[in-house]
Structures are given as structure tokens and as C-alpha cells.
Amino acid sequence: MYLDPRWFAVMLGSAAAFSALSPLVYARRFNFFAASLPHAALLAAALGYVAAAFLGGSPAAWAVLLSLPPSLLLVLLLHKGVSEDSATSAFVAFTTSAGVAAVYYVLTSFPARVSLWSYILGDPLLAGWEDAALAVAVAALSIAASLLLLQKEVSIGLDSDFSSLSGIRVKLHDYALAALLTLVSVSLLRAVGFVVEHVALLLPAAISSRLARNTREFLALSVLPSLAAALLGLLLAVQLNLAPAAAYGFVLLAAYLISLLGGGGA
Amino acid sequence: MAFAYAGGEYVLEGENLEVEGAGLVTVLGPNGAGKTTFFKLILGLLKPLRGRVYLNGEDVTGDPARAGVHASFVPQLSAVRKDLPATGVEVVEWALRGYSGDERRRRALEILRSVGAEGFAGKRLSSMSGGQLQRVLIARALARDTPILVLDEPFSGVDPRGREELVELLSKLAESRMVLVSTHDPVLTLKRSRLVVVFNRGIRAVGTPDEVYELEMLRKAYGPGVLVIEKCLHVIG
């Protein structure tokens, strides 16, 4: 069985990046946002190709740039009093419609240059050294951000009024978290894929919130099972000729089901 | 000060209230009277349609960070998420400013001990009883070291014995700071209060317990459900 170190770097890097952010998503009840984010990431990836084709530059850099305004607009709508359900519905309606239009345009106009399948299914086995380096760098950024923000995000999640009185700028944290999640999702979309991104962002904290005894464990028990799932998923995928992102998703789901049996937390 | 939610009826319609000095102040009114909204206005968490809020002479209207310098807050238990894996010690540590490392942990434990919460402070919030969680939240508020402490319905979700103990604790805390407590139960803090504010969609009466614990005064907040039976005052509903 051939195992390329770049596959490990991409899979483990992506798993670490998403699972480090997962406790922040859980703490702030940003699940609605995380669940709708892959739609925005797919749109951004497709638009990134279009922008790079016409204006030059890197498709990935364009994708990151173009993904931020819709996400920040969603947070703004929430702050303006629009209900979470309504704002998310509008956000998903826009990003999915525009995403399909953009993907269709890219596939019909640049068929020889672009494969968007990896953005939908995720394909770490096609990763080059550049992708591997990106995954590791994004993972380092996510872990650093989580270490920096977790205490405050849990504090806001527990009780936002007390946090405001303590001088924490809750609205600013909303924007920062939305921007961080968007950047990481868009950056790693190709490795993990549109479909499994939902799982990678949401499940790790669902596992750790049940098992953790304190906030430090909340982060550790989110990242470690996710890394183990990525490793096992990759090995299973290579051995059984499965999609690696899907194998990772299934292993993570199995870990969650096991946590339901064992955990007594939330 | 005046306040109403968009499309809703007024919770305050131009009332004025000034309270000074240490002691227990009870804001008394039935459920749905707007007591939580009143506290949020005082704490700058909501902005009034008209009027200003001053704490220790500083204008804190609609500015919770500024209000938080003077006042700390204990929300209703139902307003605190318990599914997050945070312990009592952690939440108190996070509220402390100017401490770090072991010193911060030591100070947090000291505060928790002062409210009788040291025995369960290491547990997750979700594993605590209502009374235990309330003590941890009081400790968290005390960690801010402010001269004013505001508690919203601190007795809700706490068993009868726990309530008695909480009243004792709040009375002790009120010796050195102003403690504002909202409650729908007119009996709990009555004997310990320096001042009672009768509140129901506005300030209906303000006075000492003796002045306020009268049939007509209580009817202003609770309506005709206040009855005198055999020289006893009963509040129903």
C-alpha cells in the first residue's frame, strides 16, 4: 500500500483546522452558520476561478476574498434583528443559487482547465506539496485562533450579557468568528470537499461537549478524535478504495455515536 | 426613563428612580412585569427610548462595558447555557481582571469559598443543582469587584432551603455594597430589604418594606389577587 506524506498532511491538517474551530462554533451556537458555510465556500471557489481567469491572480486568493462579504453580511443581518432562520434561509438561497450558476459557468466555459469535482467530493489524494503546506498552515492558524478565543467564546456562549458587562465586544467576536470560519472553510474546501465540511465543523465539538470535564478538554477532545478519524479514514480509503473525505466522515460519525454511549455531559 | 420593545407596550413610561448606598434593594413584581428589562436598562444592555442611566455619577446609558465598571450581574438561571463544558472555577477565573496563573486560580477559589461554593466549583455547570449554580454565578459576579450587584430572580430554580441560604448570603453581601434583587415572591427578601421597588410595567411604588407591604401597594403590582385573610396578607398568582 503506497502512502504519500502529502495525503497525511492534507487530511490531518484539515481535520485539525476544522476540529479546532468546532468548539467555537458549538459555544456560540454558530451551527446554523457552519452548516450553511460550505455553500458559500463552493460559490467562492467557483467565483475565484472566474475572477482569476479575467483579472489574473490566484483562484484561491480570489475565493478567500470573495467569500467574506456574504458571511459578514449574514452577521450584520442578525445584528439588525433579522431572525436566525430568516437570515440563514436568505444566505443559503443566495449562495446555493449563485453557487450552482457559477459552477455551471466554470464547467462550461473552462472545461479543460478546471475540475470542480474535488471541491464537491474532496480529494486529498490529488494534493500537491502546496496543498499540504496550506493545510498545515491553516491548521496552525485555526489552533492558534481557538486557543486565543475559546475562553471568551465560551464565556459569551454561557451568558452574553455578563460578557458585555465584562467589556467583551460580543458583536466584534461575531464578525471575527464568521470571518475565521469562512477563511478556513474556503481554504480547505478542496481537501475535505463541500459535503464533508459540514461534518468536519460540527461533529468534533458535539463529541467533546459530551466528554469534556472542562474547557481545556473541550478543545483537546475535539481535535484528538478528529485527527484519529482523519488518519483512520485515510488508511481505510486507500485500502478499500473509498473517497477519503467520506471515510473520515464515517469514522467521525462512529466516534460521535460511541460518545453518546459513554458521555454524560451535555 | 422610558422603554418599549418594538411594537410592544411600554415597560417604563418616564419614571425616575434614584438609589444610594449599600444595602439590599428588592425589585418586586409578578412574572412578566418587565423586571429583567428594567435591569437590562440599568446595566446598559438595552437603550431607553428616553432618559439616561447614571451609575456612580457616570452616564452608562446603552453602554454595558461602562456600566460593568460599576455593576455586576447575576442573570436568571434559565439565561445561562449549561451544556458547555465549563467548570465553576473556570467561569470565576475568566471574570477576574489583573490576575494570572496560580494567583488567578487562588483568587477564584477564595471568592468561591466566600459564597460557600468551594465544594462543587470543580464540577461542570451542567452537573450542579440550581442553588449551587446560583452561588457560582454570584461568585463570578463578585470577581468583577463592583460596588453594585444586580441579581435577576436569583431564587428561581432553587429549592426552599437553598433560597433561605441565598437570602442569608445576599444580606451578608449587601453589608458592603448595593445589592439589587428582582423577585416575584414578596416574602423572601422582605425583612432584609432596605428598600422595595414595586414594579409592574413601570415603577408602581418605592419605599421601605413597612411602607410597601400594604394591601394597596401590593395590589399595584399584583392586582386584585392580593387578599387579606384573617389578618394575614396572602398573595395569589
| pLDDT tens digits, A108-133 | 887 656 667 777 777 778 778 988 99
Confidence of residue B228 (pLDDT cuts 50, 70, 90): low
Contact B45 A164 (CB under 8 A): yes
pTM: 0.88
- Residue B146: the pLDDT is 96
- Give the pLDDT mean for B117-146: 94
What is the crossing angle of helices A59-79 and A170-192, to 10°?
A: 140
Side-chain-side CA neighbours of residue A106 (13 Å) = 25
Average pLDDT of the residues of chain A: 89
Candidate from A81, A166, A265 with C-beta closest to B68 = A166
User: Does the pLDDT of residue B236 top 70, yes or no?
Assistant: no
- Give the pLDDT mean for A200-204: 91
Cite the DSSP H helix spans in chain A. Answer: 5-27, 31-55, 59-79, 84-109, 117-121, 129-158, 160-165, 170-192, 194-211, 215-240, 244-262
User: Does the pLDDT of residue A14 top 60, yes or no?
Assistant: yes
Q: Which residues of A15-41 are buried (b: 16+ CB within 10 A; e: fewer)?
A: bbbbbbbbbbbbbbebbbbbbbbbbbb
Candidate from B80, B83, B90 with C-beta closest to A214 = B90
Task: Give phi and psi for A131, each to the nearest 5.
Answer: -65, -40
pLDDT in tens, B65-123: 999 999 999 999 999 999 999 999 999 999 998 898 899 999 999 999 999 999 999 99
Mutate to test the interface with B, among A162, A168, A170 (most CBs of B within 10 A): A162
CA angle, residues A50, A180, B80, in degrees to nearest 5: 140
Beta bridge partners of B28: B183, B198
Give B83's contacts in chain A (Cβ within 8 Å).
Answer: 209, 265-266
Of residues A159, A165, A168, A173, the one with CA closest to residue B60: A165
- Give the pLDDT mean for B202-224: 80
Residue with cell 490529488: A126
Lowest mean pLDDT among A7-11, A193-197, A246-250: A193-197
- Residue B67: the pLDDT is 97
- Give the pLDDT mean for B42-51: 95
Residue A218's closest chain B neighbor by CA? B85
Beta bridge partners of B124: B87
Give A213's contacts in chain B (Cβ within 8 Å).
Answer: 85, 87, 124
User: Does the pLDDT of residue B237 top 70, yes or no?
Assistant: no
Q: Does B147 touch chain A (CB under 8 A)?
A: no
A52-66, B142-156, B198-212: range with highest mean pLDDT: B142-156
- Residue A84: the pLDDT is 87
Give B67's contacts in chain A (Cβ within 8 Å).
Answer: 165
Contact B29, B35 (CB under 8 A): yes
How many beta-carbon pairs below 8 A join chains A and B?
86
Give B78's contacts in chain A (Cβ within 8 Å).
Answer: none
- Give the pLDDT mean for B26-52: 93
